[in-house]
Copies of this chain bind each other. A is one copy, B any other.
Amino acid sequence: MSKVEVYVTYKKSILDPQGQAIKAATQKLGYSEIQDIRVGKYFEIEVDDEPQTAVKKVEEIAEKLLANPNMETYKVEVVQ
């Protein structure tokens, strides 16, 4: 059994209103050090396969289901 993580975020060129709203909230709480916040989706996927094959399968799934290629980029990482 393998555990794979996927991180999906907006491309840098895409405005992230949710991130901007959270940043404004942190400023109100007094955290002036916060320069930027970008919000994305995070997936923990358990795959009944060994890691190399699991990663290939999850990359296919990320491409087809988890990320919108026009606006988002994704990263896939094996955890175990």
Enumerate chain A interface residues (CB-CB to B < 8 A).
Answer: 1, 7-9, 19, 22, 25-26, 29, 31, 33-49, 54, 57, 60-61, 64-66
Contacts and interface: CB of A to CB of B under 8 A. Distances in A.
Question: So how many copies of this chain end up in the complex?
Answer: 2
Given A8-B42, A43-B39, A44-B40, A64 B29 contact: yes
Contacts of A19: 43
A7 to B, nearest CB: 5
Contacts of A39: 41-43
B7 A35 contact: no
A49 B42 CA distance: 25
Given A40-B43, A65-B25, A33 B9 contact: no
